[in-house]
Amino acid sequence: MRQWAFRPGRSVINVPEGAIYFNASQFLLDKPWFLRWLDRRPDVKPVFFVHDLLPIDYPEFFRPAEATQHLIRMRNICRYGAGVIVGSQAVGRRLQAFAAENGRPDIAICVAPPSVSPAFEAGSPPDPRLGGIDYFVVCGTIEPRKNHSMLLNVWRELARREDAPKLIIVGNRGWLNANVLDLLDRSRALHPHVVEAGGLSTPALRRLLSGARALLMPSFAEGFGLPIAEALAAKVPVIASDIEVFHEVGGDALDYIDPLDGLGWLAAIEAYAQADSLRRLDALGRLARKKLSCGDDFLVRVNEFLASLPGCQRR
């Protein structure tokens, strides 16, 4: 990577004959100047990692310009791509349909769920500073798609009780979330019960999950759900939205609730917060039977896919 990394000011035309160009971020793929070199190097096989097509399908959850920019990115991937890697079957099916609509029904797609850090599979004692405290964790950037608003309204109801559990929000503040940020900054009812904990290291997140009653994932839409995979590896119960991709990641090990069912989420959180919760014990039993894929599967699948790629016909 040091030899062939694409640095500003350095020509990329000198990459080896027949090289594979792998773009993992979709960064700048909406800029013609960034991809123009590929027109001069038809021998190069461009491969892209597509996280999701959510800005196209759910523009209301993103900044106004993002839908248009992401549409251009995806069309450029269809134009140039010798292959595409996605993290879930759900994204793969959506991309296949999009590619067919944009003249590339032949584009090669590899489904390779991202690997979980070995830290989550290793045993990790809970943080002693949280001993005796009942708490739940929600993990993800604070943005509309993650549905923090519903959780905070659930916690406003829980805050009426003396034994209310804590909610720990792991993630930075994002976009289009003025109402949520107002609740976090100004709600006196929530302040004693809701904690923001952005910027945690992987070991710190693992320790935090160890003592949690459950991981909460109330998202409206996702491309994968890495926090769910991490919690499964750590044998931590998960209450998640009843959406297609979460079923793909978690199977029958998760407790599914519609993301719009605030009362359902309230009831589940109340049940999991109880020391002798039968609902949580049942979830732990299903979790213990869940067979997890090997951490090396991602690289194995990607390497096999890259080795099998033919060239692509540029349009």
Residue-wise pLDDT for 55-67, tens only, equals 999 999 999 999 9
N-term to C-term CA, the chain = 29
Q: Based on the domain organization, do 105 and 125 belong to the same domain?
A: no
Mean pLDDT (the chain, rounded): 90
Write down the pTM of the prediction.
0.89
Q: Quick check: helix, strand or coil at residue 228?
A: helix
Q: How confident is the model at residue 73 (pLDDT cuts 50, 70, 90)?
A: very high
Q: Based on the domain organization, do 88 and 36 belong to the same domain?
A: yes
225-244: burial string, b at 16+ Cβ within 10 Å, e else: bbbbbbbbbbbbbbbbbebe
pLDDT tens-digit series, residues 248-295: 999 999 999 999 999 999 999 999 999 889 999 999 999 988 877 656
Averaged over 160-188, what is the pLDDT?
Answer: 91
By CB neighbour count within 10 A (0-12 exposed, 13-18 middle, 19+ buried), where does 59 fall?
middle
Domain range for 222 is 118-289
Q: Based on the domain organization, do 226 and 186 belong to the same domain?
A: yes
Q: Based on the domain organization, do 304 and 283 belong to the same domain?
A: no
Q: Name the residue among 203, 245, 235, 20 with its Cα closest to residue 119.
A: 203
Does residue 2 register a pLDDT over 60?
no
Query: What is the token pair recorded at 292?
Result: 């997890």
Q: How confident is the model at residue 234 (pLDDT cuts 50, 70, 90)?
A: very high
**Phi-psi label, residue 225: left if phi above 0, alpha if psi -120 to 50, beta otherwise:** left
At 25 the pLDDT is: 86
At 121 the pLDDT is: 86
Q: Based on the domain organization, do 238 and 259 belong to the same domain?
A: yes
At 112 the pLDDT is: 94
Total tally of structural domains belonging to the chain: 2
- Specify if 96 maps to a domain: yes
Does residue 7 register a pLDDT over 60?
no
The span from the CA of 243 to the CA of 220, in Å, is: 8
At 127 the pLDDT is: 81
Q: Based on the domain organization, do 304 and 211 belong to the same domain?
A: no
pLDDT tens-digit series, residues 29-58: 999 999 999 999 999 999 999 999 999 999
**80-89, 182-191, 270-279, 291-300: lowest mean pLDDT where?**
291-300
pLDDT tens-digit series, residues 92-120: 999 999 999 999 999 999 999 998 998 89
Q: Based on the domain organization, do 208 and 267 belong to the same domain?
A: yes
Q: Based on the domain organization, do 273 and 301 belong to the same domain?
A: no
Q: Are 124 and 206 in contact (CB under 8 A)?
A: yes
- Specify if 216 maps to a domain: yes
Does residue 21 register a pLDDT over 70?
yes
The span from the CA of 38 to the CA of 21, in Å, is: 9
- Specify if 122 maps to a domain: yes
The sheet carrying 108-111 orders its strands as: 20-23, 45-50, 83-86, 108-111
The span from the CA of 115 to the CA of 153, in Å, is: 33
Q: How confident is the model at residue 3 (pLDDT cuts 50, 70, 90)?
A: very low
Q: Based on the domain organization, do 123 and 94 belong to the same domain?
A: no
At 198 the pLDDT is: 81
- Specify if 2 maps to a domain: no
Q: Based on the domain organization, do 125 and 235 belong to the same domain?
A: yes
DSSP string, 272-309: HHSTT-HHHHHHHHHHHHPPPPPTTHHHHHHHHHHHH-
